[in-house]
Amino acid sequence: MSAQLNYNIRNQELEIVLAGDFIHNKTPHADLLSAIHNVKNITFNAASLKSWDSSLVVILFELAKTAQSQDVKIDWSGLPANLQEMISLALTSSATPPTREVQKQDFFTTLGEDTLNNYHSLKQGLSFIRSAMNSFARLLGGKAIMRKIDFLFALEGCGYKAIGIVSVVSFMVGLILAYVGSIQLKNFGAQIYVASLVAIGMTRIMGAIMAGIVMAGRTGAAYAATIGTMQVNEEIDALKTMGLSPMDFLVLPRISALILAMPVLTLLSDIMGILGGAVVGIFTLGIPYESYWDYTWDALFLKNFWVGIFHGFVYGWIISICGGYYGINCGRNADSVGIATTKAVVSSIVWMIVITGVLTVILQEFHL
């Protein structure tokens, strides 16, 4: 039965009669909308209405909007219940959920909650570090479940692929260090000691720090994002179901690769920083080539190299632990992956600076 839309006007009341099937309906209704201007109430008679789709909802929606602009009341009770719900949903002005009133807490309640949250976070972090150490111990004992291909893949990502960015950043840092040092040394006519300043600064600490910061932003973030995505896709749950340790299978290869790569990258950073300082000293400050390299060589102590490489080794642990921790404890949505990545980078850099301060004091006390 074809769709039929009729109406009658009695005593300023418009009665709309719906009959038939309103499926993909294109029944003209412009005259119906114009008739609203002469009435005060609208009612419906849908006793003969059979099937309908959204085309009928569109007609009734336009009718309701026109009636609202003319202050005409509409009685929807003559329509089927499900059609009434559709019209009510279409006419809802805002679909946003109601906001709950935020209850303000007193200072001590807030302090207590923050203290408990920090305690649980610290406890969780220490538990993860202990699990990582146990996993590494199993690796040394030949009992860890770690595939060689995973280790080589992680080593590739933090190895030769990182050479370019570490070299450029370290070169520029050595160049800047030479410029800054020359400002004060010029006042004493001692520009030649720029060579010693750059050599000692880069080999002892600056090379390791710059390599660490670069790898935290590059590799630590990649660890958190990769493992976090596995958490979102429930791949980590699948590993646990198969009886495989996520620590051995996912985190351990990345820790092993980074602690091996960081000392080498630190040495590369040292060399590039010294070259950057040499460019400033020789071509800008006018220091003779032979003199610059003589002072550089005299300032190169094996002790400083070992201190810098040791810092790089420690930074490798810090970056891989932070990346793995925030990846494993990532949430279950895409936004959580971004948060985990950000936290991994920030935590890595903060802890590197903290550990650097502690190591500097300890090494100074032991005259190293």
Asked whether residue 92 carries a pLDDT value surpassing 80, the answer given is no
Residue 20: its H or E element: strand 13-22
Residue 172 lies in a domain: yes
pLDDT at 350: 95
pLDDT at 101: 66
Whether the Cβ atoms of residue 2 and residue 24 lie closer than 8 Å to each other = no
Residue 205: which of 309, 286, 101 has the closest Cα? 309
78 lies in the same domain as 132 = no
73 lies in the same domain as 220 = no
Residue 208: which of 179, 181, 173, 157 has the closest Cα? 173
Q: Which domain, by its residues, includes 63?
A: 4-90
Place of tokens 């600076």: 353
Phi, psi of 50 (to 5 degrees): -100, -100
Share of the chain above pLDDT 90, in %: 52
Number of domains into which the chain is organized:
2
pLDDT at 99: 65
163 lies in the same domain as 254 = yes
**Order of all β-strands in the sheet with 4-10:** 4-10, 13-22, 41-52, 73-74
b/e sequence 210-227, b meaning 16+ C-beta within 10 Å: bbbbbbbbbbbbbbbbbb
Q: How confident is the model at residue 184 (pLDDT cuts 50, 70, 90)?
A: confident
206 lies in the same domain as 155 = yes
Q: Which of 60, 90, 120 is the last residue of a domain?
A: 90
Please report, for the domain that includes residue 30, its CATH number.
Answer: 3.30.750.24
Query: CA-CA distances (angstroms) from residue 349 to 34, 144, 353?
Result: 70, 29, 6
pLDDT at 328: 93
pLDDT at 1: 60
Distance CA 279, CA 272 (A): 11
Asked whether residue 94 carries a pLDDT value surpassing 60, the answer given is no
How much is the mean pLDDT over the chain?
88
Asked whether residue 66 carries a pLDDT value surpassing 70, the answer given is yes
Other C-beta atoms closer than 10 Å to the C-beta of 231 total 22
Residue 268 lies in a domain: yes
pLDDT at 6: 80
Average pLDDT over residues 331-347: 91
Query: CA-CA distances (angstroms) from residue 105 to 101, 108, 109, 112, 355?
Result: 13, 8, 6, 11, 36
Whether the Cβ atoms of residue 307 and residue 368 lie closer than 8 Å to each other = yes
pTM of this prediction? 0.71
Average pLDDT over residues 141-145: 86
294 lies in the same domain as 361 = yes
